[in-house]
Amino acid sequence: MHALIETYDLRGQMRWICAQTDRKRNGELYRCIADSKGAFVQPALYEAFGLTVIEAMNSGLPTFATNQGGPAEIIVDGVSGFHIDPNGGGGGEDATRKMADFFEKCELEPAHWRRISDAGLARIEGCYTWRIYADKTLNMGSVYTFWRVLNKRQKLAKQRYIQLLYNLHFRNLVMTDD
C-alpha cells in the first residue's frame, strides 16, 4: 500500500493505517480523520460483523466498506455510507470510482460530506447502540421462553385433539371394519 502511495504521489492525500489495538487511540484517529473531512475505507473481501465500520460511522466518518457480511446490513448504500464490491470485475475500479465520485461531489457541494456523515450517525444511533443490543437480547430471551412454553401447550393441545379424533371417529371405524 505504501508503494502505491509513492507511485501515484498520494502523500498527504491519503493515509494507510495498519491494524490498531489501542481503543482510545482508535477513537482519536477516527475523529482526526472526520475533522479533516476524510473517509473510512474498509476494503475486506468479507467482514463477519463490521465493528470497525460501526466505530467509523459513529465517529461521523463517511464509510466505504465491503458489501460482503455485516457491513452490507450496517450501511444503507449511498445514504449512510457506500458498499464496495470486493469481487467486482473492475479490479477495484468500481470502488475507486465510488470514492472519487464522493469526493468530487463534496468539492462541488460541501454539504454532501455532512449529509453522509449525519446519515451514518443516525443509522448507528437507530440500529447499533448498546441500548438497542440489550433490548434485542432481552427480547430474544423472552421470545424463546414464550415459545418454549407455548410449544409445550401446543403439543398438549395437539395430543388432545388427536385423542379426540381417535375417540370420536377412528375408534368407531376400527370397531366396524371387521
pLDDT of residue 114: 98
> Which tens digits make up the pLDDT trace of 90-146?
667 888 899 999 999 999 999 999 999 999 999 999 999 988 888 888 877 776 676
Q: Are the CB atoms for 90 and 59 separated by under 8 Å?
A: no
> Does 175 or 178 have the greater pLDDT score?
175
Sign of the alpha-carbon dihedral angle for 148, 150, 151, 153: positive
> Smallest Cα–Cα separation from 67: which of 89, 51, 45?
45
Give the closest residue to 84 by CA, choosing from 102, 108, 106.
102
**Banded model confidence at residue 86, pLDDT cuts 50, 70, 90:** confident
pLDDT, averaged across the chain: 85
Determine the pLDDT at residue 134: 84
Burial code (b: 16+ CB inside 10 Å, e: under 16) for 162-175 equals eeeeeeeeeeeeee
Say what the pTM is.
0.72
Query: What is the structure's pLDDT at 144?
Result: 67
Q: Characterise 37 by phi-psi region: left (phi > 0), alpha (psi -120 to 50), beta (else).
A: left
In the chain, what's the furthest Cα-to-Cα distance?
A: 96
Radius of gyration of the chain from its Cα atoms, rounded to whole angstroms: 27
Burial (CB < 10 A; 0-12, 13-18, 19+), residue 54, is buried
17 versus 81: the higher-pLDDT residue is 81
